Structure 1
């Protein structure tokens, strides 16, 4: 609670049922003595009159002698003339915390300013909220999930312009101890706990033993895709809600903003520009800071509430960017639709890029701690380059590798990279094309461009590879396949055994949609051992994509478990990273011009200016938040004495020397297990039913 030092005042209103809890929660909050004025105004009741008394702040603790049925409000000292009050806030019972649920307050611009020091009529009934005028610049700790249950087996966490759950800052624990983050079908969402290693090794039925001498692939990272649909949904939210969404995905930790102030139960904002208004809410574990409001200068006629910007996220570092349209667009387009424009003189980005994807990518980079690794994928060439003259259906490039059509298509990649570079967006990689086998299917319903492995090999060797190598983007890495892993190892053998093509290639991209047809050890592991110098990267996955599945399932825990199962099995078979599909979709699972709706880790309800973090989001966070780029998978020996205690797991050595262990329990029963690190000690643990856990600890230097 040290971050709450330097308090200037605490205006409050509490229901009688919360009064004892409030006193207990803040009994030990140290505050500094400031010249301030408190008044106590009795709640209106029949047959009673208002009474006022004065109270001073005490140190080191706070005392609140006022009876439960009073409203205590703070009046800031006036040093430079009276501060103008802000517009009244009104109670909104339509949705949760701060405008998204019962008891929320939301400023309505049409309401007149508060007058006479009276409290807003709606917010006068808000229970459990505080305004702390504070000079402190930061607040530590995460904010809990604003849980919503849509009846699908688990919870989503609702976020709005004014509130979003966050994580505690990730700090390496002291030697000999560990931290554990747990999410579960029962409702936990990256819940943090601590423990100590034991020195007496036990023999549980399921035992994991760390072996850092065994080293495997290094991790590139985790992320999602900024499609047109994702951009549309993100931009359908208010700016403040957009900020929360992007920080939820990309930030490491947030900082309180310096916005204008707003009040809930007090009549005016403090006049002092040095003060901040902090909002706290009553949560199951006590009182918690939810964000800040910077002070409004004296005589400011109106201040717009600024949201909390303390929004630590799950630290995505990979972003896939479609080159022009996909099925997750609202129209079909490319960047060079002028017939016969082989020199691409009329190549132009579209509004989907300049007004949607590019601003979102720049905003994401602004909140990320490290540079994001962007990689681009084209779905189709312009129709005048294609054999079928259409963006959909069976069709490939006209002519043959080395001719003007293939050279123009290679140049198309370079022009895309050139144009994005003008917006200070540079790319880590490009794929040779999204799902090249789709373009070999008659009547395929979405944008596609067909390639066989032989065609892709020759196109890379003669056109795309040289075009990249001879451009200013020579360091951009090239990824082949970008399609179902069932094509491996055959596709890699055809392409990479050609020394010219292989010299331009860095990695192999895989999708997850037909994984049930392709045993992972017979595809990914074999491919890695055949071509160990080329990384494997999962480039697309989404749930709700099969025709027999519901599209969006708000709170579907099993979909998150499927993600974690895929990530763990991929990582344990030499894959270096995992990329989700759309960052955000609407309640229908779109928009999608072909109505090919799917689910997403974040679902947006723009009518309420809210978005919902699904279980998938938190499953992804168990990896992306704790396994940074450069981490290396290490050995993890398994000793099992029980038949039904199957756990999925993987361990990593981080660049900072810490160990990360992820454990997934997809079964309906709790599983006891142990973890041994020979250099540190033994952890005795339990994986609850339908849960995922991430452990983090230090090793001796």
Structure 2
């Protein structure tokens, strides 16, 4: 395979170097390294095909007093990893970042992406061995080990056509309900392969974009429209049954779901001429639908333990929506969590996450959708090697995690060079881009950003307090179930930043976060 090599990129492992003149580092493990290619978008992609694909380091338990650092940066490295030792001697830094194991926060559910039709179409467009390598890159121990998979219920914009599971008008008993060819050819086969290669339990949650057109006030799966009638009525009950039928059909293929969201972006269907599949809800309607229709029906069919999530939209509207639904005692018993999307995330709305947790601490908050280049002015839609987009991921993930969010779900796991397919031409970017003509796929910087979280922050890890974080760095820390401490540090600045981390049991790590880099540090103190 012929590869283009960037002038400053290295394909050899970093075997020895001095870190701040203080630490002695060495290579950690044998890996298949990135084959880089530069498309002049700030950084580089790693190229994979049927015969070669880079792998992700699996970190074994270290001796007490040792730590490992995994580094990805704009210029050189993709998950390069080295070890160092804690320092017991007094250090000059008067205000080190300090780990406080006594103050803990939320437990992590996990990280993942969506099994959209577009994802499936792109994966199966590759040669068989390349398909396997792409799925391994996400779900196997050779990859970043996603443990969350979002599954659109019927079609969304990242389909090649508009379809539902029952287009028989007024079939309120859903006698004609049937899965689509997209489920049989793309979603189900990929889910089963992902589950088979994963050593972690892959938690699936379904999300609907629209009911069949005949159930809606506008008789269309797109545009501004809601369900006909009122909660408790024939159409609302039919829509609840639609969820159950979906779960039952997938169960026939030995696929069970961990959760559901009640509606993808419920505000979209209240927008005039909304351009793709949507269905409008107010928080009052969503509450009443859950109380009268969806909640009871899920329980009656044996899905009472399913994690039902409300909202699944931008956090601008979060607090009022959640209060309206969860202030109702019965709704609160049916609902387990709250889904949030990233598209209107600004620093000013971070407090909305805190407020939501404060009001309803027993209901988890999960990031359920995110992607780069969703706005019309973000061009090109696919920017191969964009570091700017990677940093937008890292910033949002760390901010979310530091404000009670329990995980983060990327949108499409694989798109083509145009950012699709998408029947509505709502093209966006993706962590992996497929070039079916060349029979290869490209791992974007966004993929490696996701790796620093999904690979090393294990499910059921608990966030711990870190004090004295420098304003120039984004930092978050966790204690894993295996008693490892994990700290992720991101430097989005144009200059390097020195730092010190103090563990009360072990001493200090003295380090350097290079400009435009992300580091994951891991150590054990037991």
TM band (smaller chain): over 0.9
The match for 1:382 among 212, 216, 219 is 212
Alpha carbons of structure 1 residues 201 and 620: separation in structure 2 relative to 1, 3 Å: farther
- The 2-side partners of 1:340 and 1:488 are apart by 34
Q: 1:639 to 1:324 in 2, by over 3 A?
A: closer
- TM-score, with structure 1 as normaliser: 0.71
In structure 2, what is the equivalent of residue 675 of structure 1? 501
What do the CA deviations read for 1:364-401 (whole angstroms, capped 9, x no partner)? 01110022000000000000000000011110000000
Task: Indicate if the aligned counterparts of 1:432 and 1:479 stay in contact, CA closer than 8 A.
Answer: yes
Separation of aligned partners in 2, 1:543 and 1:172: 35
| Aligned 1:641-652 pairs, distance under 5 A | 646-652=472-478
Q: CA contact under 8 A between 1:154 and 1:186: conserved in structure 2? A: yes
| Contact 1:158–1:613, Cα closer than 8 Å, also in 2 | yes
What is the CA distance between 1:177 and its match in structure 2?
A: 0.4
1:545 aligns with 2:374: yes
Paired position in structure 2 for 1:332: 162
Q: Residue 199 of structure 2: which of 349, 359, 369 is its match?
A: 369
Give the aligned partner of residue 195 of structure 1: 84
> In structure 1, the residue corresponding to 2:105 is in which secondary structure?
strand
Is 1:520 matched with 2:349? yes
Q: Deviations over 1:300-319 (max 9, x none)?
A: xxxxxxxxxxxx10010000
1:530 paired residue among 359, 367, 371: 359
Report if aligned partners of 1:206, 1:673 keep a CA contact under 8 Å in 2: no
For the residues of structure 2 that align with 1:367 and 1:204, how far apart are their CA atoms? Answer: 45
Q: 1:382 to 1:639 in 2, by over 3 A?
A: closer
**3-state SS of 1:488 partner:** helix
Aligned residue for 1:489, secondary structure, equals helix
CA contact (8 A) 1:206 1:672 kept: no
Map of 1:170 onto structure 2: 59
Task: Give ranges in structure 2 of 5+ residues lacking alignment.
Answer: 6-11, 13-28
Q: Matched residue of 2:334: which SS? A: coil
Q: How does 1:567-586 map to 2 (within 5 A)?
A: 567-586=397-416
Corresponding residue for residue 501 of structure 1: 331
Pair 1:442–1:670, CA change in 2 (3 A): same
Match of 2:453, SS state, is helix
- 1:307 aligned partner: none
Paired residues, number: 504
Q: Distance in 2 between matches of 1:519 and 1:342?
A: 44
Take 1:232 and 1:245, find their aligned partners in 2: how far apart are those partners?
Answer: 13
Q: Is the 8 A contact 1:222 1:624 kept in 2?
A: yes
Say if 2:128 is the partner of 1:250.
no
Query: Deviation of residue 187 (structure 1)?
Result: 2.1
In 1, the alpha carbon distance for the partners of 2:30 and 2:235 equals 56
Of 481, 484, 497, 1:658 maps to 484
- 2:145/2:200 contact within 8 Å kept: no
* RMSD of aligned Cα (Å): 1.5
Q: Deviations over 1:402-444 (max 9, x none)?
A: 0110000000000000000111110000000100000000000
1:685 and 2:511 are equivalent in the alignment: yes
**Superposition deviation, residue 205 in structure 1:** 7.4
- Contact persistence 1:159–1:612 (CA under 8 A): yes
Stretch of structure 1 that moved more, 205-214 or 581-590: 205-214
Supply the distance in 2 between the matched residues of 1:236 and 1:185 (Cα, whole angstroms): 30
Q: In 2, are the aligned partners of 1:205 and 1:673 still within 8 Å (CA)?
A: no
Contact (CA 8 Å) 1:210, 1:677: kept in 2 or not? yes
Distance 1:186 1:342, change over 3 A: same
Aligned to 1:453: 283
- Pick the aligned partner of 2:39 from 150, 162, 166: 150
The CA deviation at 1:206 is 6.5
Cα displacement string for residues 205-228 of structure 1 (whole angstroms, at most 9, x for unaligned residues) = 762100010010000000000100
The 5-angstrom pairing of residues 593-604 of structure 1 reads 593-604=423-434
User: Do residues 417 (structure 1) and 252 (structure 2) align?
Assistant: no
CA distance in 1, matches of 2:502, 2:489: 14
TM-score, normalization: structure 2? 0.94
- Equivalent of 1:608 in 409, 415, 438: 438
The residue that corresponds to 1:347 in the other structure is 177
* Aligned position for 1:232: 121
Cα contact 1:155–1:615 (8 A) shared by 2:
yes
Indicate the residue corresponding to 1:476 in structure 2.
306
Higher relative contact order (CA 8 A, sep 6+): 2
Q: In the alignment, what sits opposite 1:71? A: none
Q: Distance in 2 between matches of 1:367 and 1:205?
A: 47
How far did residue 141 of structure 1 move?
2.2
CA deviation profile, 1:434-469 (whole Å, cap 9, x unmatched)? 000000000000100100000000000000000111
- Aligned counterpart in structure 2 of residue 591 of structure 1, from 412, 418, 421: 421
Distance of 1:407 and 1:349 partners within structure 2:
19
Deviation per CA, 1:17-63, whole angstroms, max 9, x where unpaired?
xxxxxxxxxxxxxxxxxxxxxxxxxxxxxxxxxxxxxxxxxxxxxxx
Q: Tell me if 1:634 matches 2:464.
A: yes
Instruction: Supply the distance in 2 between the matched residues of 1:675 and 1:165 (Cα, whole angstroms).
Output: 31
CA shift, 1:355, in A, is 1.1
Aligned equivalents of 2:416 and 2:94: distance in 1?
44
> Does the CA-based 8 Å contact 1:177-1:196 persist in structure 2?
yes
CA distance, structure 2, for counterparts of residue 669 and residue 201 of structure 1: 26
Deviations 1:482-541 (A, max 9, x none): 00001121001000001111110000000011113x723331001100110100000000
SS at match of 1:523: helix
For residues 275 and 350 of structure 2, the distance between their equivalents in structure 1, rounded to whole angstroms, comes to: 32
Q: CA deviation digits over 1:148-192, x for unaligned, max 9?
A: 001111010000000000123221211100000000001200100
Instruction: Tell me: CA distance 1:552–1:322, structure 2 relative to 1, closer, same or farther (3 Å).
Output: same
